[in-house]
Structure 1
Amino acid sequence: MDAHVLLNQYLKTNPQLVGKVVDFDATTDSLYHFNFTASNTELSAETFGDTAKFSIWIDEQLQKNNCKYGIGGYMEHRTIYARSKHFDTSDEPRRLHLGVDIWAQPGTPVYVPLQGKVHSFNDNNNFGDYGPAIILEHNLDGLKLYTLYGHLSRKSLDELSVGMPVSINQPLATFGNISENGNWPPHLHFQLMFDMEGKKGDYPGVCRYSEKEKYLQNIPDPQLILRFPATVNE
């Protein structure tokens, strides 16, 4: 049976086995939807090309809309990646975002949403990269699923070891600041994968638009785990 179908069945049958990724409370917290496509004319190239200005802009949007968290990005064709050569290739640049970004303050706690173990971790210390990242491995009644957490604080990696068991709602990490998270405004890149393709401590979070169908097969929508309500500005 298709892995996407199996994942949906497992999550619907076992909602009690799905925990949180961040401390979001739908009764008190609102979500702001960020749009980083070419249709967002409010975000200039000058702003997103300067990390300090970009971070201020993110904070202003959250404060103006009275939101603790911002959200967005799954399969979004983003123009902001022109800010870093990390996403440029010799033929077609990488601009399609494969995970969901959760924007909040540095130090924001990150939790384990599914029982599993540490698959791998690494400090991907390049401008525009993940910075510190953790990948967990989960066995969902025989279906293998991996969850990726990028742009973390460096201290998040300190107590980890490969194969270390993790439990639902266990504190895992914290959001990194600009100086350690790949030079981004503080946020978490959260992504699901069925197959790590042999990679450790890293997996593409952005791909070429021409590769969309390929990656859709391996990367389900993180909202299946996050279960966030509709955002305030949709």
Structure 2
Amino acid sequence: MDKHGLLTDYLATNAHKISQVIPFNPESDRFYHFNFTENNQDLTAADIADTANFSKWIESKLRNYDCRYGIGGYMEHRTLYQRSALFNTADEPRRLHLGVDIWAPANTHIYAPLAGVIHSFQDNNHFGDYGPTIILQHDLNGLVLYSLYGHLSRVSLSGLKEGHLIESGQKIGELGYADENGSWPPHLHFQLMFDLQGMRGDYPGVGKYSEKDLLINNIPAPQILLQIPAANIIG
């Protein structure tokens, strides 16, 4: 069985060990599904380039649809990354989003979905980057899984130590404001990986579309851990 199958089996038989990454009430909270592909004609390039305008656009959508959070992005081919030279690699611009974004107010608490240890952390302080980032390592009956949390507050990195034990459901950080999270509207970038390929405190959250099949092999769908009911997602 491949790693994806092993992960699916582990989570199916250990559902009691999974905690929410972001606090929500499945009975009442709704998530607006944001689409940032070229099919989104509602958001202009000028809006995307201006973080304040981009934030207002996000907030207005959530308000108009009466949603507590926004969500979306796994393996989505996004046009919005043209806002930062960070993604404009010479041979092929990176536009394929590899994680799930959860759009929520700054200071929203973030929790570990599974027990593990702090693998590494870092402030990726560049325009369009993650800003403060934490990576956890989980041992799932011999299957190694890493989870990444990007766009946190800087205070989230205070006092952290690599190798420190983390319990399922333990608070690990808070969402940061735009002036500390890589200049984005406040949100969490949540991503899973089987192999970090030697990286620490960072792992690409955006890849090349031509490498999609290869990337999927290493990056399982984060929804498998988020466990947000489809009925709670609109848009």
Fold agreement, TM-score > 0.5: yes
Q: Structure 1's 232 and 144: CA in aligned 2 closer, same or farther, altered over 3 A?
A: closer
Q: 2:59 — aligned with what?
A: 59
Q: 1:87 — aligned with what?
A: 87
Q: 1:129 — aligned with what?
A: 129
Q: Helix, strand or coil: the match of 2:24?
A: coil
1:38-53 correspondence runs (5 A):
38-53=38-53
Question: TM-score with structure 1 length normalisation?
Answer: 0.99
Q: 1:186 — aligned with what?
A: 186
Q: Helix, strand or coil: the match of 2:216?
A: helix
Deviation string 1:76-123 (CA, Å, 9 cap, x unpaired) is 000000000010101100000000000000000000110000000000
Q: Could you tell me which amino acid in structure 2 is paired with residue 233 of structure 1?
A: I
Q: Does 1:212 align with 2:200?
A: no
1-structure distance, mates of 2:77, 2:114 = 28
Q: Structure 1's 155 and 45: CA in aligned 2 closer, same or farther, altered over 3 A?
A: same
Q: Could you tell me which amino acid in structure 2 is paired with residue 229 of structure 1?
A: P
Q: Helix, strand or coil: the match of 1:128?
A: coil
1-structure distance, mates of 2:59, 2:88 = 27
Following superposition, the deviation at residue 233 of structure 1 comes to: 2.8
2-structure distance, mates of 1:91, 1:105 = 36
Q: 1:106 — aligned with what?
A: 106
Q: 2:120 — aligned with what?
A: 120
Q: Could you tell me which amino acid in structure 2 is paired with residue 56 of structure 1?
A: K
1:147-226 correspondence runs (5 A):
147-226=147-226
1-structure distance, mates of 2:234, 2:146 = 30
1-structure distance, mates of 2:182, 2:228 = 26
Q: 2:227 — aligned with what?
A: 227
Following superposition, the deviation at residue 28 of structure 1 comes to: 1.5
Deviation string 1:10-37 (CA, Å, 9 cap, x unpaired) is 0001100111100011111011000000
Following superposition, the deviation at residue 232 of structure 1 comes to: 4.1
Following superposition, the deviation at residue 229 of structure 1 comes to: 1.5
Q: Helix, strand or coil: the match of 2:138?
A: strand
**% identical equivalent positions:** 57
2-structure distance, mates of 1:232, 1:42 = 19
Q: Helix, strand or coil: the match of 1:94?
A: coil
Deviation string 1:30-54 (CA, Å, 9 cap, x unpaired) is 1100000000100111101110100
Q: Could you tell me which amino acid in structure 1 is paired with residue 234 of structure 2?
A: N
| Aligned alpha-carbon RMSD (Å) | 0.7
2-structure distance, mates of 1:73, 1:106 = 19
Q: Helix, strand or coil: the match of 1:213?
A: helix
2-structure distance, mates of 1:57, 1:65 = 12
Q: Helix, strand or coil: the match of 1:192?
A: strand
Instruction: Identify unmatched segments of 5+ residues in structure 2.
Output: none
2-structure distance, mates of 1:162, 1:209 = 33
Q: Helix, strand or coil: the match of 1:102?
A: strand
Question: TM-score with structure 2 length normalisation?
Answer: 0.98
Following superposition, the deviation at residue 186 of structure 1 comes to: 0.1
Q: Helix, strand or coil: the match of 2:119?
A: strand
The alignment covers a number of residue pairs equal to 234
2-structure distance, mates of 1:165, 1:201 = 17
Q: Helix, strand or coil: the match of 1:81?
A: helix
